């Protein structure tokens, strides 16, 4: 595997930066500007013009997030504001989800019944993994967490379906099932997509990881 060499400056010949970011090159240009600040007719040397062009390049950069100039998407203040808003909302939303999960008795060890969509029968499953990491704002319903207000259309990987791992009582095979749909206080679905056929027949107390409600690691690559 090859490794990229550290850049070498063509002005001072030091490694670790290029001429564009060279402090000595910039200081040289700034010194000339200071010496000639009262001489408007003085011809600017090439190095002064070049340093000024470097500065203008940054000012003319257009952000792909907000379409404003002077920064990029990575440093966009508007994007940071939206991200902070999503993180704060996620804590509120997770609290509601956990309350409803506790009411339903949905946790590892719970017995759930999945009704057959084509007949009166049902299959029984034992919950073996709640997959808590996938229960974040990306899985939220658009009525309880408004789509455009939280800029869900800009989510890097789109919305997700909350799933849990279960084991079949019949043959002990494991599979994933969507969470049952849970409702908030206004009767809005908490999940973007969820099962309408699943119900708990033998409850078990849910036990999310410590600090799960306030955890922010899920949002690192949200946008």
CA triple 176-124-120, angle to 5 deg:
110
CA distance 155 to 135: 15
Residue 23 pLDDT > 60:
yes
> Range with the lowest mean pLDDT among 117-126, 138-147, 202-211?
117-126
Q: Is the dihedral of CA 121, 123, 124, 130 positive or negative?
A: negative
Predicted pLDDT of residue 119: 77
- Report whether 88 contacts 77 (CB < 8 A): no
Q: How much of the chain exceeds pLDDT 70, in percent?
A: 96
Residue 165 pLDDT > 80:
yes
- Report whether 107 contacts 126 (CB < 8 A): no
User: Per-residue pLDDT averaged across 96-118, rounded?
Assistant: 95
> Tokens representing 176?
């994933």
Question: Where does the pLDDT of residue 70 fall: very low under 50, low under 70, confident under 90, or very high at 90 and above?
Answer: confident
Predicted pLDDT of residue 1: 46
Q: Is the dihedral of CA 152, 153, 156, 158 positive or negative?
A: positive
> Tokens representing 195?
């099962």
124: Cβ contacts below 8 Å, ≥ 6 apart: 111, 112, 113, 114, 168, 169, 170, 201
Residue 55 pLDDT > 90:
no
Residue 161 pLDDT > 70:
yes
pLDDT in tens, 116-131: 877 788 999 999 999 9
Predicted pLDDT of residue 60: 67
Predicted pLDDT of residue 4: 60
- Report whether 201 contacts 124 (CB < 8 A): yes
Question: Where does the pLDDT of residue 136 fall: very low under 50, low under 70, confident under 90, or very high at 90 and above?
Answer: very high
For the chain, how many residues are written? 223
Residue 104 pLDDT > 90:
yes
Predicted pLDDT of residue 194: 95
User: Per-residue pLDDT averaged across 208-220, rounded?
Assistant: 96
Predicted pLDDT of residue 59: 66
User: Per-residue pLDDT averaged across 154-173, rounded?
Assistant: 94
- Report whether 85 contacts 96 (CB < 8 A): no
CA distance 9 to 22: 7
> Tokens representing 209?
């990881």
User: Per-residue pLDDT averaged across 104-117, rounded?
Assistant: 94
Domain residue extents for the chain: 19-60, 77-219
Question: Where does the pLDDT of residue 38 fall: very low under 50, low under 70, confident under 90, or very high at 90 and above?
Answer: confident
């Amino acid at each position: 595997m090859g490794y990229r060499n550290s850049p070498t400056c063509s002005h001072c010949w030091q490694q670790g930066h290029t001429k564009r970011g060279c402090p000595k090159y910039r200081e040289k240009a700034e010194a000339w500007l200071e010496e000639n600040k009262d001489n408007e007719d003085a011809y600017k040397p090439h190095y002064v013009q070049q340093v000024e062009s470097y500065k203008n390049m940054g000012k003319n950069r257009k952000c792909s997030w907000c379409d404003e100039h002077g920064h990029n998407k990575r440093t966009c203040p508007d994007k940071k504001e939206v991200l902070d808003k999503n993180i704060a909302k996620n804590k509120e939303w997770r609290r509601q989800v956990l309350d409803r999960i506790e009411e339903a008795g949905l946790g590892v060890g719970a017995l759930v019944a999945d009704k057959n969509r084509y007949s009166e029968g049902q299959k029984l499953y034992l919950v073996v993994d709640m997959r808590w990491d996938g229960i974040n704002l990306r899985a939220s319903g658009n009525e309880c967490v408004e789509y455009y207000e939280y800029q869900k259309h800009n989510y890097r990987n789109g919305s997700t379906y909350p799933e849990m791992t279960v084991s079949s009582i019949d043959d002990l095979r494991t599979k994933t099932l969507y969470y049952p749909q849970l409702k908030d206080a206004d009767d809005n679905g908490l999940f973007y997509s969820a099962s309408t056929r699943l119900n708990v027949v033998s409850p078990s107390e849910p036990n999310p990881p410590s600090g799960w409600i306030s955890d922010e690691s899920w949002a690192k690559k949200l946008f």
